[in-house]
Amino acid sequence: MTSLPLARRRRGRQVLRNTVVGWSFLLPNFVGFAVLTLVPVGLLFYYAFTSWNVFGGAEWTGLENFRQMLHDASFRTALRNTVYYTVFHIPLTLGAALALALLLNQRLRGVAFFRTVAFFPYITSIVALAQVWNMLFSPGYGPINAVLRGIGIDNPPGWTTSADWSMPAVIVVGTWREMGYYMLLFLAGLQTIPGQLYEAAKVDGANAWQRFRAVTLPGLRPTTFFVVVLLTIGSFKVFDVILVMTNGGPGQSTLVLSQYIYQKGFVENQFGYASAVSIALFAICFVITIVQFVINRRGTD
Amino acid sequence: MKRSIAAVLGATAAISLVLTGCSSGDDEGSSSGPQTLTLAGWSFATTPEFKTLADGFHATHPDVTVELKEYDAANYDTQMVADLAAGKAPDIYAQKTLKNFYTYQNGKQLLDVSDVASKLGDKVGGISSYQADGKTWAIPYRQDSWVLYYNKTLFQKAGVSLPDGSWTWDDYATASKELTAKLKAAGSKAVGDYEHIWQSTVQGFALAQTSGATIESGDFSYLKPYYDRALDLQNAGAQVKFGDATTNSLTYQAQFGKQQAAMMVMGSWYIATLLKQQGTGDAEKFEWGFAPAPQQTKATTGTSATPVTFGDPTGLGINPKIGKNKEATAKAFLAYAAGADGAKALAGIGITPADTEAVKDTFFQLPGVPQDDLSKFAFTKHDTKPENPVSKYTAALQNILSDLHTAVMSGSKGVDAAITEAQNRAKTEVLNK
Find the angle CA(A162)-CA(A167)-CA(A170) to the nearest 5 degrees. Answer: 110
Q: Are A179 and A118 in contact (CB under 8 A)?
A: yes
Q: Is B115 exposed, middle or buried (0-12, 13-18, 19+ CB in 10 A)?
A: exposed
Residues B21 and B36 sit within 8 Å (Cβ to Cβ): no
How many other C-beta atoms can be found within 10 angstroms of the C-beta atom of residue B364? 15
Residue B15 near residue A54 (C-beta atoms within 8 A) = yes
Cross-chain Cβ contact A134/B247 below 8 Å: yes
Question: Which residue from B minimizes the CA distance to A128?
Answer: B249
Domain boundaries, chain A: 3-47, 64-300
The residue among B43, B137, B117 whose CA lies nearest residue B337 is: B117
pLDDT category, B368, cuts 50, 70, 90? confident
**A128-164 per-position pLDDT tens digit:** 999 999 999 998 888 999 999 889 888 888 888 888 9
String of DSSP letters for B168-228: BHHHHHHHHHHHHHHHHHTT---EEEE--SSTHHHHHHHHHHSTT--STT---GGGHHHHH
CA dist B382 and B145 (Å) reads 8
Q: Which of residues 162-221 of B touch A (CB under 8 A)?
A: none
User: CA of B84: which chain A residue's CA is closest?
Assistant: A55
- How much is the average pLDDT of B389-412? 91
Taking each helix axis from N to C terminus, what angle separates B2-21 and A39-47, rounded to the nearest 10 degrees?
80
| Domains parsed from chain B with CATH numbers | 2-144+312-355 (3.40.190.10), 146-308+389-431 (3.40.190.10)
Residue type for A99, please? Answer: A
Q: Output DSSP code: residue B295.
A: B
Return the closest-CA partner of residue B391 out of B84, B127, B105, B145.
B105
**DSSP E strands, B303-386:** 308-310, 313-318, 383-385
Kindly list the residues from chain B whose CB atom is less than 8 angstroms away from the CB atom of residue A161.
242-243, 246-247, 410-412
Amino acid identity, position B144: D
pLDDT of residue B363: 87
Q: Which residues pair with B95 in a beta bridge?
A: B315
Angle formed at CA A62 by CA A56 and CA A65, multiple of 5 degrees: 85
Query: pLDDT tens digits for A33-47?
Result: 999 999 999 999 999
The CA distance from B222 to B207, in Å, is 7
What is the per-residue pLDDT for A21?
92
The ipTM estimated for the assembled molecules is 0.83
Chain A contact present for B399, CB below 8 A: yes
Whole-model pTM? 0.85
A43/B418 CB distance under 8 A: no
What value does the mean pLDDT take over residues A12-29?
A: 90
Mean pLDDT of A81-109: 93
pLDDT at B410 over 60: yes
Residue A96 is predicted with a pLDDT of 95
B166-195 per-position pLDDT tens digit: 999 999 999 999 999 999 999 999 999 999
* B294 DSSP 8-state letter: P
Contact status of A156 with chain B (Cβ, < 8 Å): no
Residue B294 has pLDDT above 90, yes or no: yes
Residue B107: pLDDT band by 50, 70, 90 thresholds?
A: confident
d(CA B287, CA B110): 44
- By DSSP bridging, strand B261-267 and strand B191-194 are parallel
pLDDT of residue A152: 85
Band (A87; pLDDT cuts 50, 70, 90): very high
CA distance A169 to A150: 20
Q: What percent of chain B has a predicted confidence (pLDDT) above 90?
A: 55
Contacts of A55 in chain B (CB under 8 A): 81, 84-85, 103, 107-109
Q: Which CATH number fits domain A64-300: 1.10.580.10, 1.10.3720.10, 1.10.8.60, 3.40.50.720?
A: 1.10.3720.10
> Using CA atoms, how far apart are residues A27 and B44, in angstroms rounded to an integer?
41
| pLDDT the model gives residue B28 | 38
Backbone angles phi, psi at A47, to 5 degrees: -65, -25
pLDDT of residue B8: 44
Within an 8 Å CB–CB cutoff, is residue A248 touching chain B? Answer: yes
Task: Tally Cβ neighbours within 10 Å of residue A166.
Answer: 28
| Mean pLDDT rounded to a whole number for chain B | 87
Q: For residues B124 and A63, what is the distance between their CA atoms, to the nearest angstrom?
A: 46
Q: What residue of A is the nearest CA neighbor of B110? A: A55
CA distances B144 to A166, B126, B147, B151, B380, Å, are 35, 9, 9, 21, 11
Chain B residue numbers with beta carbons less than 8 Å from the beta carbon of A168 are none
Which of the two residues, A299 and A203, has the higher pLDDT score?
A: A203
Which residues does chain A have within 8 Å of residue B72's beta carbon, measured at their own beta carbons?
none
Yes or no: say if B345 and B116 are a contact pair by the CB < 8 Å rule: no
Per-residue pLDDT of A246-272, as tens digits, reads 988 899 999 999 999 998 988 888 899
What would the pLDDT profile of B241-259 be if each residue is shown by its tens digit?
A: 999 999 888 999 999 999 9
- Nearest residue of chain B to residue A285 (CA atoms): B1
